[in-house]
Amino acid sequence: MSYALNEVEATAKRAARGAGYDWGLAEEAAKATRWLCAQGLDGAAVLAGLLEAGFAAGLANHVPRSLQGDWQADAPLCPLATGAALSDCAGRLQGAPQTMGPVAWPAMILPFAALAARRLGVCVSVEGEGFQAVTNGSALQIEGALPDAPASLTVRTEGTLSASVPPATRAEPDEAAWAVLNRFAHKTYAPATEESRRLGAGAGLSDND
């Protein structure tokens, strides 16, 4: 099925929160998922894979131990937490490339590289074994195949874009991935109570005559 990007973003936010991320990272996840879909990638599938990995439950093991030098952790880096750090430290890219990894679901780093590109007003590239992605913030160009497995990445301010494709306005996520997002999103819904059911029933419950 086809979904508006607004719906993708809203569902992704609830799903990330339902998976255990705080609301701040859940919002970052939603924006990142929407951006990937606008570039013609299946951002919903990327997020679904990440949420099923369960990083949120032990996030401290999946964030860079230090923001100095190579970014590494005791386990594969979470691309949401690492991406947020990348956008916060965007100015450092003007001095030297940033290496990191291995990063789980590397595609999820790309929206944060785009945010860095917009902040710096330059193209930013994300490179890993077998692929290079370049973004100016609004458009994306990929050479090679983005891996699903964790990968070591290098992010730098360089690259050029050829003629860009207009961003998509709707997404067609993999049905199984969309179901995963809705399963996690459902965890954020408050269970119905007798009072809420009664209030939702509408007229006829109050007699003011």
* Residue 110 placed within a domain: yes
Taking residue 168's Cβ as centre, other Cβ atoms within 10 Å add up to 14
Structure pTM?
A: 0.89
* Residue 207 placed within a domain: no
Q: Among 87-96, 124-133, 164-173, name the one with the lowest average pLDDT.
A: 164-173
Question: What is the tally of helices (H) and strands (E) in the chain?
Answer: 7, 7
* Residue 87 placed within a domain: yes
**pLDDT top residue among 190 and 175:** 175
| Boundaries of domain holding 127 | 3-162
Tally of domains in the chain: 1
* Residue 35 placed within a domain: yes
**What pLDDT score does 17 carry?**
98
**Both ends of the chain: CA-CA distance in Å?**
49
179/184 Cα distance (integer angstroms)? 9
* Residue 183 placed within a domain: no
**What pLDDT score does 108 carry?**
98
**What pLDDT score does 175 carry?**
97
* Residue 52 placed within a domain: yes
19/209 Cα distance (integer angstroms)? 48
* Residue 80 placed within a domain: yes
**pLDDT top residue among 112 and 194:** 112
Instruction: Give the tokens for residue 137.
Output: 């913030």
Q: Say whether pLDDT at 146 is over 80.
A: yes
Residue the block writes with tokens 């979470």:
78
* Residue 63 placed within a domain: yes
